[in-house]
Structures are given as C-alpha cells and as structure tokens.
Amino acid sequence: MVSTFWAIVLRYLKKLWVRIVLISALAVVAVLVAAPLGRFIPPALTDRLGQDAVLPVLTILASTMLAVTTFSLNVMVSAYRAASSQATPRAYRILLADTTTQNVLATFVGAFIFSLSAILMFRADLYDPAASVTVFGFTVGIVAMIILAILRWIEHLSLLGSMDHTMNVVGATARQSLEARRTRPCMGGVPEGPSVRPPADAAPVLARRTGYLQLVDMPRLQARLAQAEGRIWLVHVPGDHVLADTPVAFVQLPEDSDPAPYAGFFTLGTERTFEQDARYGLTVLSEIGQRAMSPGVNDPGTAIEALARLEGLLWQFGRPRDVAMPAPRFDRVHVPEIIADQLFDAAFAPIARDGAGCIEVAQRLIFALDRLGSRGAPGWQAATQRLAAYPKDHAQAALALDSDKARL
C-alpha cells in the first residue's frame, strides 16, 4: 500500500502530456550536451560526418514528425471517442492511460523537438565540427527509436478503439484492483465488517469537499495515529460518494486533540479512480455489457462476453489462499470490509435489469451466478442465491414468449 503522494505521482506518470514533457526534456538535453561531447570525437570522423551530413536528416525529421504526431493524435482521439460511445464513457479515462500510445506519441514529439532544436543550434553557429558528429550519432539513435515506434504503432492501431481491446484494458485494470484488495484486505487495515460502529467517544473527521473518496493515505495515517496514540474508524471506503462536512471517519484521540487535520489523509475528487477502489473496475465492465443491451446497440454477444469476463474476475478473486491471511499492517486503522453482495451487485445487477429481455443473456447470467456460488468463498453462496432472483424476476416480466420463460 503506497502513500497518497506516490499514488498521485504514479497517476501523473500515466498522463500523456507528462511523458511528452519528459521525452522532450531528454531531447533538449541531448542537443545541449552534443557540443561538450564533441571534444571526445576523433578528427577523422569530423571530416566525414560534418554539418552537411546531418542537417538534411534533421530537416526531414523536423518536417515529418510534426505531421506524423498530428495524424496520430487525431487517430487516438477518434478511436477513444468511438470506444467511449460503444462501450462506456468511463472506459475513456482508462484508455487515456494506454502506455503504448503514450510512448509512441512521446517518441514522435521528442524526435521533432530534437531535430528542430539541433537545426537552430546549427544555424546559430553554436556547434563546432566535432559537435556535428555527436548530433549525427544521436540522430541515428532517434531514427532507430522512430522505426520501432512506428512498428509498434501499426500493430497497436489494429486494436485501438475496438471492443475487444477496450474490454481487455478494462478487465486488466479491474484485475489489478481486485488483486490488490485480495492481497491486502481492507487496504491493510483492521477488518470491521460491512458497517463500522466506532466508540462513543470517537470524534468525527469531516470531509473537506464533496466528491468520491479516491485515496486513503494508510501509511501516513498509521504513523500519525501511532504518534498520537489514537485509532480511527473509516465509515467510507474508496469509491463512496461523500458530502462536504459529513463524517468520512471517526477518530479516537487523547482529550483536547483536534480531529480536523486527519481529513487531510483522505483524497476526494469528482471522479472514481481505480487505485484503491476494488469495485470500480467491475462497475465499468458491467456498464459495457449494459450498454450493449440498449435498443440503439442491441448486441447480446458483447453482453455475454462482459458476463464471462466478470465471472472470471470474481472467480480469481475468490480463489482459496495459498497462505494464511496476513496480519493487518495498519493496526490503528479500522476499515469496512467489502462483502460479496457489494461485488456481485456492482458486477451483475445492471446487466440483469437491462438484459432481461434477451433469453441468452439472462441464461448466461444465471449460469455465471450458479458457478460462482459454488466457489466456497465466505458469503458468496448466499449472495448469488439472492441475486439470482433479480434477473429471473426481470426476465419473467420482460420475456414475451412462454417458451422462453420455461427455458429460463
């Protein structure tokens, strides 16, 4: 469990503009260090690889990379918007963090910045003949990077924006969140059951703004509580919507201690995120199946595929542990457990409602619930039995033929 600071750093590293800035900075550094490195170049290479050898290549790179970058950005935006309209708008934010697309675009922009900066340095007579050899060496390396980026980009474009790619990316993100919660139940805190009952003398920690609870800084919160000899009970977990000036937790501290500073350990935002929200990936994948059953799309195959992926994710999440449950790492932080009902409702309830008119979808959903109920995880059998009645009731009301009802 990383601190909020590093979680936010990792979040920014997944942004496109950050990678472009980093690669562009490296390109500028390469241009600036070319002159000092020229002192180590043998004179024989200076005569062969001078300014006339490298300037035409730099000119070609400067003129083509800007056009290639603009074209690639248009393709990326169009593909992501298509995926957002076909799948779910929540998938758009996941696709924006695609590292392959970011690295390719960053390579193109970095090559443009390098070539343009080197041309300016040549035209301003800031490079000596030896520096030309160094720039030529950097240029050869950048050309090799561009070729590799183009090959990766061509392969990636065959998948970008497709439903299969979107569901693969969403499924992989959901798997990471679920595995993190499975490895560290309750984010490493003390399990408290689905509803937390703090002591009567615990003071409320009020949310500073309205929004979704995104991150809880467990390491810093544990350290602060150990220093103050206190304990805290969370009443909300990441993914919950919290209103300003309402309790997000209750903290038990020595007398005359102010609970207000503890609100700084909770990060709230306008959107749900995946770092600590184990249910959000299931919700997004379920929305893809739900959108597929809308009258404008009417794609039962995609809904059935979404059900299969949801079933696989929960099956892996509920597998027996190879080792004993780890002891709580943050023993002063009490966290509500995510129970089976919450997971199954997030995954299956929307499709059960909107796919009730399709006998194939309803049958596949009940089949998935039946198999998950046999997993043996705590509370799963009761949760699947409860939820199985939901698609049956909707299907009985939505199906027109008695034969379909009998099949169900």
Q: What is the pTM of this model?
A: 0.84
pLDDT of 135 reads 86
pLDDT band at 368 (very low <50, low <70, confident <90, very high): very high
**More confident position, 11 or 66:** 66
CATH 3.90.1170.30, the chain: domain bounds: 165-408
Amino acid 197 reads R
pLDDT digits (tens, 9 = 90+) for 187-217: 999 988 767 788 888 999 999 999 999 999 9
CA–CA gap between residue 84 and residue 272 (Å, rounded): 16
Q: Is the pLDDT of residue 174 over 90?
A: yes
> What's residue 269's pLDDT?
93
Give me the pLDDT at residue 45, please: 67
Spatial distance between the Cα atoms of 343 and 339, rounded to a whole number of angstroms: 7
DSSP one-letter code for 325: P
Closest CA to 46 of 140, 137, 132, 123: 132
Q: Are 112 and 61 in contact (CB under 8 A)?
A: yes
Using the predicted structure, report yes or no on whether residue 1 has a pLDDT greater than 60.
Answer: no
The confidence band for 145, taking pLDDT boundaries of 50, 70 and 90, is very high
pLDDT in tens, 256-315: 788 999 999 999 999 999 888 999 999 999 999 999 888 878 889 999 999 999 999 999
Do residues 373 and 385 make contact, with C-beta atoms less than 8 angstroms apart?
A: yes
Helix (H) or strand (E) holding 334: strand 333-335
Fold of the 165-408 domain: Aldehyde Oxidoreductase; domain 3 (3.90.1170)
Task: Tell me the pLDDT tens digit for each residue of 65-124.
Answer: 989 999 888 988 888 888 888 888 888 888 888 888 889 999 999 999 999 998 988 888
Lowest mean pLDDT among 35-44, 81-90, 306-315, 353-362: 35-44
pLDDT of 42 higher than 80 = no
Lowest mean pLDDT among 27-31, 58-62, 207-211, 233-237: 27-31
Q: What are phi and psi of 379, to 5 degrees?
A: 80, 0
User: Could you count the other beta carbons within 10 Å of the beta carbon of residue 185?
Assistant: 17
Q: How far apart are CA 241 and CA 342, in angstroms?
A: 15
Strand ranges for 92-201 from DSSP E: 190-191
Confidence of residue 28 (pLDDT cuts 50, 70, 90): confident
Q: Phi and psi for 140 in degrees, rounded to 5?
A: -60, -45
* Mean pLDDT score of the chain: 87
Task: Give the CA diameter of the chain.
Answer: 90
Nearest C-alpha neighbor of 96 from the set 15, 33, 179: 15
Q: What is the pLDDT of residue 82?
A: 82
Please say if the pLDDT value at position 324 is more than 70: no
Percentage of the chain beyond pLDDT 90 is 40
